[in-house]
Amino acid sequence: MSSLLLYTYYAFHVAMPRSGGDYVFVSRSLLPSLGFIGNASYILTLLIYNGITGVTIQTTGLSVGFLLIGVLTHSSGLVTLSSQVSTTTGTLVLGTLEIVLLAIPTMLGKRVYFRIQNVVYVLVFIAVLTMIGLLVTASHATFVNDFNSFSQSQGYGANYYQKVFTTAQGLGWINPSQSSGWDTLLIFPVLSLYGFNFIASTYLGGEIRRPARNSLYGMFGAMFAAMGLTALFFFALYRTVGEPFVSATDFLIYNQIPLTAFPVLPYANFLSLMLTNNSVIIGFVAMMGVLQMCIYIPGFYYMGARSMLAWSFDGILPRSLSNVSPRFHTPINAIIVLVVLSEISLILLNIPYTAAKIYLFSTVLTWYACLTPLMLVGIAAVIFPYRLKKIHDASPANYRVLGIPVISLTGLGTIVFSVLVIYLELTNSIYAANTPLAVEAVIAFILIFAAVYFIAKYWRKAQGRPLDLAFKEIPPE
C-alpha cells in the first residue's frame, strides 16, 4: 500500500517538478483551496513533530547514552547528567540550540544539506546493524540476566524482569495474540508511516536533477531498505528480548506507569545496548540515535520552506517569503519563519498544560495527514490524466494498464490506503486518536487554513491580482 502512495507522489513529481510537492499537485489538478488546506495541514503535522523532536533528542537520545556509559564506567556525574538533560530546563535549552543551529545547513544550500544527510544516514545504518548484531549474538537468557543485573545495580531487586510482567498484568495487560488477523491489521496505521517518510524529494521540485530516474531509485530504494532493516531489527528484538516483554513495557509506558529502575524510558535502543559493556559501542549507537533525530529538523525546514515559497509565489502569503538567496539559492526568509514556529512549538511542549494538549493532538496526526493531504492527492491523481491531459501525456509517468493511466490506478490505491487508516484510527481507541477534543482540533485547523486561503483570495482580488490566474498553469522553475 505504501508503494501505491509513493508512486502517486513520484508520478506527480516527474509530471510537475516544482517546489511545494502536493500543494502544486492538488491545487492544479483539483482545487486551489484544497491544495493549500492539504499542504498546510501536512506542514502543521511536521511542525508539531519538529517540536517533539526537540524534546525526544534529549529524553531518548542523550539521556540513554549518558546513563549507560555512566553506569558502566561508574561515573555518577554522567548518571546525573542523563537526568538533567531530560529536565524541562535541559530540554528547552538544548532543544532551542538544535532548532536554531540545524537551520544553518538548509540555509547554505542543498549540497551542504544533502552531504550531511548522506553521512548521517550511513552512520545510522551502521548503528542499527550494530544493535542487530548485539541482539542476534545474545540469547534470551543472557538478556534477562543483563536486564536484572542492571536494575539491581540501580537498587531495585534481583528479578525486575518478572516485576515488569507482574506490574503490567496487575493493571490489566494481556499479551496480544500473534495469530489474530485483526490485531495484525491494527498495526497498519503505524506501518503507513513508511509511505509518508519518503515523499520529501517531491517537495524540492526542479532542485532534483533527472527526477524521473533519481527520485524513483531514491524514494523506493530508501523505503524498501528501511522496511527491510526495520523488519530485521524487530525480528532480532523479539527473539532476544521477547515479544511479551516488549508488549508489557509498551503497555506500562503508554499508561504512564513509571519503571522505577530506569531513569529513562526503556525503548528498543536502551534494551539492546544493555547487552554490551563496551562504552565505545554504547556511545556510538546513542550518538547515532541523536543524529538520526537531529537530521529530521533540517529536513522539515527544507520541505516546509519549499511549501511556503510556493504559497508565497502564488500570492497566498506575502511575497517576501518567496525571496531566494542569490548566493545559496535557498528561501532564507521562509526558513527563519519555520525556526520561529518550531521554537514556539518546543516552548509549548515544555509547559505542562499546553504539552498535554499537543501530545493529545499528536495522536491524530496520522489520520489527519491521511485525510488531508493524502486523500486529496489520491483524488487529484485519479483525475489528473484527464483534467491536465497535455501535462500528463508529456510526462515520464505516462504509463497505462488496459488503457487506464497508472497514476489514476495508484491514486485509487492511495484513497483506499487513506480511508483504511482513517477508519482504523477513528474506530479503535487503542490509538487514542478519536477523542472529541482531538477530532475538534482537526476540524478547527482545516477551517483556519480555509479561512487563510479565502481571505488571501479576496485580498488579492481587491489588489487587482486575482489568485485564480496563478493556478491556471504550473509555477515556473
Question: What digits encode the pLDDT tens for the residues 51-73?
Answer: 999 898 888 778 877 877 787 67
- Sole residue written with cell 517531491: 202
Residue 441 identity (one-letter amino acid): A
Q: Give the residue ranges of the chain where pLDDT is below 70.
A: 72, 177-186, 188-195, 256, 258-265, 476-477
Residue 236 has φ and ψ, to the nearest 5°, of -65, -40
Domain definitions of the chain by residue range:
30-362
Helices (H) and strands (E) in the chain, counts: 25, 2
Question: What digits encode the pLDDT tens for the residues 120-144?
Answer: 999 999 999 999 999 999 999 999 9
Cβ–Cβ < 8 Å for 1, 192: yes
What pLDDT does 174 receive?
A: 85
What pLDDT does 40 receive?
A: 97
What pLDDT does 193 receive?
A: 62
What pLDDT does 439 receive?
A: 87
Residue in 1, 315, 406 with CA at minimum distance from that of residue 188: 1
Coil/strand/helix, residue 232:
helix
The helix-helix angle for 211-237 and 2-15 (nearest 10°) equals 160
State how far the Cα of 398 lies from the Cα of 401, in Å rounded to an integer. 10
**Which are the contacts of 212, defined by CB distance < 8 A and separation ≥ 6?**
14, 396, 397
Residues in the chain: 477
**393, exposed or middle or buried, with CB in 10 Å at 0-12, 13-18, 19+?**
exposed
What pLDDT does 65 receive?
A: 77
Quote the pTM value. 0.88
Cβ–Cβ < 8 Å for 276, 305: no
What pLDDT does 265 receive?
A: 67
What pLDDT does 184 receive?
A: 65
Cβ–Cβ < 8 Å for 269, 293: no
H helix or E strand, kind and range, residue 385:
helix 375-387
Displacement of CA 33 from its chain's centroid (Å): 25
Coil/strand/helix, residue 401:
strand
